[in-house]
């Protein structure tokens, strides 16, 4: 019996709807239904009575709720206790990292998960991609040995083929639209690039974001930029007051699910990119940094598995001539 199946069951029981529970869990309704059906088959009894679109717990389902809750809570306690022992056995050495400004906020958005995996004990410096590549070319000039970077899909192949740099992808994302009901309709499944270009826009002045947006809106330039600056508090003020929209990414939207008032809506044909760690493959990287990268990747895989299932990584490694990539391949 998988703990994930019990978690899915409890969410359906709490909400009373497979479709709403799937949306809350960020999984497909088909996958959620299949997991619950497998649980019912394993237990040998129905857990829900289904009448059209309405569902309700069976007697067995009612009995399972407190038992499943206890199992899920015990499993969480087990993980927490064992992780403490694992953390105690690891070095307390502070890791020095660089990060492009566009992704540095990940350390805040994922604060609880990173604390859980002992990943917040870092000294972080923000640098641009050219500066990071300079450090990799001559690592003796920089105390940081690894960097968290954004790699647009078009550049992923070059990074994968580079002999000077090693790249560990964490997740794939895309640009999304952020705003309130004052300017955006939650009923729209997505906005077109042309529709977005006509909205009042306030967005962060950051080189990689600038480059991504420029490629996205090359045919439909912004018509009404009311703020383009590095002052995030003022940008947020414009957004919260309903005077403008801004941009984020699908992964940040996933982490921010349930945020009050803010709407995160997809953009049709939005630019996509990968976030990961980049470091020199020529100079020796210290073992503590490599272990940190492994733990960070494990943290993403374990805490964000529903997101990763919907947004698989792209395998950009060079292949022998005549070999074709498998559908939905994931780069390791």
**1, 75 in Cβ contact below 8 A?**
no
- Whether 5 and 35 have beta carbons less than 8 Å apart is answered as yes
Task: Give the integer Cα–Cα distance in Å for 131 and 19.
Answer: 46
Six-digit token string for 136:
């990799």
Predicted TM-score of the model (pTM)? 0.68
pLDDT digits (tens, 9 = 90+) for 20-57: 888 777 777 888 888 899 999 999 999 999 877 788 99
User: What are the two backbone dihedrals, phi and then psi, of residue 199, each rounded to the nearest 5 degrees?
Assistant: -85, 155
Q: How many CA atoms lie within 13 A of 224 on its CB side?
A: 10
Residue 97 pairs in a beta bridge with 124, 146
Say what the pLDDT of residue 16 is: 87
**Which structural domains are found in the chain, ordered by start?**
3-89 (1.10.10.10), 98-111+124-285+300-317 (3.40.190.290)
- The answer on pLDDT for 171 being more than 60 is yes
Listed in sequence order, the DSSP H helices in the chain are: 3-15, 18-25, 29-43, 59-89, 101-104, 106-109, 111-116, 129-137, 153-161, 193-197, 207-216, 232-240, 250-255, 287-303, 305-310
> CA neighbours within 13 Å on the CB side: how many for 161?
9
6 neighbors 14 (Cβ within 8 angstroms): no
Q: What is the pLDDT of residues 41-97, one digit of tens each?
A: 999 999 999 877 788 999 999 999 999 999 989 988 888 787 666 655 554 568 889
pLDDT at 92: 53
How far is the C-alpha of 97 from the C-alpha of 295, rounded, in Å?
14
């Amino acid at each position: 019996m998988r703990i994930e199946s019990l978690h899915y069951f409890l969410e359906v029981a709490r909400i009373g709807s497979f479709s709403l529970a799937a949306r809350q869990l960020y999984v497909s309704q088909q996958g959620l239904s299949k997991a619950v059906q497998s649980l019912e088959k394993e237990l040998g009894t129905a857990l829900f009575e289904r009448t059209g679109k309405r569902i309700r717990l069976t007697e067995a389902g009612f009995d399972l709720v407190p038992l499943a809750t206890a199992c899920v809570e015990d499993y969480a306690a087990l993980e927490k206790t064992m992780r403490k022992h694992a953390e105690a056995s690891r070095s307390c050495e502070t890791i020095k990292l660089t990060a492009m400004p566009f992704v540095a906020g990940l350390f805040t958005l994922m604060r609880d998960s990173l604390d859980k995996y002992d990943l917040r004990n870092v000294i972080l410096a923000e640098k641009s991609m050219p500066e990071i590549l300079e450090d990799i070319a001559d690592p003796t000039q920089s105390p940081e040995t690894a960097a968290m970077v954004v790699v647009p899909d078009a550049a992923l192949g070059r990074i994968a083929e580079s002999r000077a740099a090693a790249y560990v992808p964490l997740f794939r994302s895309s640009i999304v639209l952020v705003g309130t009901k004052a300017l955006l309709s939650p009923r729209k499944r997505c906005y077109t690039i042309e529709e977005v270009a006509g909205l009042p826009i306030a967005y962060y002045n950051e080189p990689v974001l600038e480059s991504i947006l420029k490629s996205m809106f090359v045919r439909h330039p912004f018509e009404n930029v009311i703020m383009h600056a590095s002052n995030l508090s003022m940008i947020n003020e414009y957004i919260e007051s309903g005077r403008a929209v801004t941009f984020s990414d699908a992964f940040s939207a996933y982490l921010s699910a349930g945020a009050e008032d803010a709407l995160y809506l997809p953009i049709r044909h939005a630019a996509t990119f990968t976030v990961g760690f980049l470091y020199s493959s020529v100079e020796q990287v210290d073992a503590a940094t490599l272990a940190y990268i492994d733990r960070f990747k494990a943290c993403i895989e374990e805490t964000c598995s529903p997101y990763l299932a919907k947004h698989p990584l792209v395998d950009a490694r060079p292949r022998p001539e005549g070999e074709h990539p498998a559908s939905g391949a994931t780069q390791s």
